[in-house]
């Protein structure tokens, strides 16, 4: 289940629109039923009413699940997914100031200091040697984040064990950087983590970017250790599309997807982020 964020602007006025349509429908029914033109207008307006009602109900299904899922003893868990350079950190920063959200970032500092060893740097400098060790540790640290307790109504995370398995590990396997036995071990590890039910997700926010846009942002920000080839960014994009758009890997995570066009300029994206936060706050 997914939709474009622009549809939500319709919902603010949905009640007013439907009331007007039903009011006009009743006027036509009472005053125009005897003429051919009146009957035609009556049925035309009726069809229009049905179409708009259907549209509103169809695209309103996902987000109001906040009402269903939220409870005082268990936070509504949101994971923010997307390619490198899609704007995840910017998105999460938008919620850090809100006391109703527990904001959790990828534990990069832990990956850079495993008892004094920079495992992340080893991984990027020698993918073939360190892919298995690095992804095993990523699973461990991400699971700790999934299990993080909070009394706040919302928990919002940067990525998850699901993208770890469906996107990044899958990519390493396709590039022959991990072997079939190593993939089998990581898959068993993933399935066990999911079976504990600590990795339950209520909503996935997918910051969708074209590989070209993501790669340009990576080059522009020039982070240390983030020397990724364009082909890598393209492969990650394809795997995200397979998981969240084409639904090829939905065996363990059935959360609805909120898809945001993150190719837009920063201000437009910021408006979408603000709207997301506004919608969430309506259901506390």
Tell me which residues are annotated as active site.
Answer: 158
Contact 82, 207 (CB under 8 A): yes
Distances (CA, A) of 26 to 16, 41, 44, 50, 77: 16, 12, 13, 14, 44
**Cα end-to-end distance, the chain, whole Å:** 23
Helix (H) or strand (E) holding 171: helix 170-174
Pairing of strands 257-261, 203-208: parallel
Rounded CA-CA distance 162/179 in Å is 20
The torsion of the CA quartet 142, 172, 256, 276, rounded to 10 degrees, works out to 70
Rounded CA-CA distance 159/83 in Å is 10
Contact 70, 202 (CB under 8 A): no
Rounded CA-CA distance 19/12 in Å is 13
| Total Cβ atoms within 10 A of residue 124 | 15
Q: Which burial class, exposed, middle or buried, applies to 21 when counting CB atoms under 10 A from its CB (0-12, 13-18, 19+)?
A: middle
């Amino acid at each position: 289940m997914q939709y474009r964020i622009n549809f939500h602007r319709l919902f603010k006025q949905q009640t007013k629109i439907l009331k007007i349509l039903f009011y006009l429908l009743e006027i036509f029914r009472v005053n125009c039923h005897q003429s051919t033109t009146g009957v035609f207008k009556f049925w035309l307006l009726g069809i229009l009413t049905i179409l708009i009602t259907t549209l509103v109900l169809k695209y309103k299904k996902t987000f109001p699940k906040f009402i269903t899922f939220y409870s005082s003893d268990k936070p509504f868990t949101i994971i923010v997914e997307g390619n490198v350079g899609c704007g995840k950190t910017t998105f999460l920063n938008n919620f850090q100031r809100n006391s109703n959200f527990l904001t959790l970032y990828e534990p990069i500092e832990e990956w850079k200091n495993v008892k004094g060893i920079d495992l992340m740097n080893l991984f990027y400098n020698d993918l073939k040697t360190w892919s298995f060790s690095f992804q095993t540790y990523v699973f461990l640290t991400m699971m700790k984040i999934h299990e993080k307790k909070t009394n706040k109504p919302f928990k919002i995370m940067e990525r998850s064990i699901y993208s770890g398995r469906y996107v990044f590990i899958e990519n390493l396997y396709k590039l022959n950087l991990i072997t079939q036995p190593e993939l089998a071990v990581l898959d068993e590890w993933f399935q066990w983590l999911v079976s504990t039910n600590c990795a339950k997700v209520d909503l996935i926010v997918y910051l969708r970017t074209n590989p070209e846009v993501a790669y340009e942002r990576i080059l522009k920000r020039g982070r240390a250790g983030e020397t990724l080839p364009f082909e890598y960014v393209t492969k990650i994009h394809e795997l995200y599309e397979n998981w969240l758009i084409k639904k090829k890997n939905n065996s363990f995570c059935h959360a609805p997807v909120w898809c945001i066009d993150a190719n837009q300029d920063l201000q437009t994206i910021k408006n979408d982020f603000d709207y997301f936060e506004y919608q969430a706050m309506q259901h506390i």
